[in-house]
Chains A and B, each alone.
Chain A
């Protein structure tokens, strides 16, 4: 894993700080009580639940630890983590399951 270039890093930190604050301040500070159009709100509701899976799916199919080679164990552990998170509605139950399965596999077979 190569280190992150400091200029990129600080641009991202400052950009995110300003951007996140702007998102939070947009309505309470500037927009007042004005409402946004329905079609926009309807798309915004699905932003996080679309972006995060889009970010993670390639990381599960082509995992970094194998150098990008598809690996059945990483795929299986990923699916189990998602399923447990979905059925228990609990982030930590999902993460715990994934961590235990991955550590279990690594300590048995490597």
Chain B
């Protein structure tokens, strides 16, 4: 069906985004439950989800606050986990960058994995759209995802108050992180980054102020970047001739 109006573009985005509530619903619920277990009340947990609106960064902050890590380490770590949204923002700029400032500010708030992934595919491979239609599509992809994320947090926080201490939810957050890592390992370089970070994190956990996390994270990033330069570029699309030669050398 051709997209002829701004409203049609919004509803196309809305429909394309609908399946993603199967991801943001359970994750919001889990965040609410674990936040409540960590001692956050419903209002605080909900404010957290509304203000930050970034699942993996919220889980990271929640874990580190429970470990009594210094505030600056918590902020650096959680923002590092969320650095990918800066790359999404860069990649969307050619398509949305000409919108008025206030619309770009709203678009920035709503830049999450789902809205980025759907929009970039639509803008790069779909039929040509006007600027307003592109904005409408982008906001449409969040039409369900954002409200479901917020309301799932509320429900989770309410549920969390009913969960007895004895259920031992302490290990659920580590399991959630582990499950998130699997699909992130898209190339051999990602695998190298992951396992370098793991290997460094164990001895580095002796460092004070949770600095081991920063050290291990940087080590993993450097290992991943080096691996990308030196390993065969399987699954990598953006290889320049110069890089390809470097890889063979």
Contact = CB atoms under 8 A, between A and B. Distances in A.
Interface residues of B, number: 96
Interface of A is mostly: helix
Interface string B141-184: 00000000000000000000000000010111111111111111
B120 to A, nearest CB: 13
Contacts of A59: 63, 173-174, 177
B225 to A, nearest CB: 4
A76 interface: no
A36 B21 CA distance: 33
Contacts of B107: 28
Which of A1, A39, A48 gathers the greatest number of chain B CB atoms within 10 Å?
A: A48
B194 interface: yes
Interface in A2-21: 2-4, 8-9, 11-17, 19-21
Interface string A27-46: 11101110110010111111
Contact of A20 (B63, B79, B223): B79
Given A16-B57, A28-B108, A29-B101, A46 B178 contact: no
A49 B184 contact: yes
Nearest to A39: B225
A54 B220 contact: yes
A14 B79 CA distance: 12
A94 B178 contact: yes
Contact of B168 (A46, A57, A65): A65
Contacts of B184: 48-49, 52
A92 B47 contact: no
A103 to B, nearest CB: 9
Interface in B36-68: 37-40, 44, 47-48, 51-54, 56-58, 60-61, 63-66, 68
Contacts of B39: 1, 3-4
A87 interface: yes
B90 to A, nearest CB: 4
B87 interface: yes
9 contacts: A16-B52, A33-B93, A46-B189, A46-B193, A51-B213, A57-B202, A78-B175, A89-B182, A95-B175
B174 A78 contact: yes
Given A27-B93, A46-B221, A4 B171 contact: no
B217 interface: yes
B179 A81 contact: yes
B51 A17 contact: yes
Given A3-B38, A62-B205, 5 more contacts: A19-B79, A44-B87, A47-B84, A53-B195, A58-B212
Nearest to B39: A3
Contacts of B54: 16, 20
Which of B26, B175, B181, B219 gathers the greatest number of chain A CB atoms within 10 Å?
A: B175
B178 A98 contact: yes
Interface in B187-227: 189-190, 193-198, 200-202, 204-205, 212-213, 216-225
A14 to B, nearest CB: 7
Contacts of A90: 183
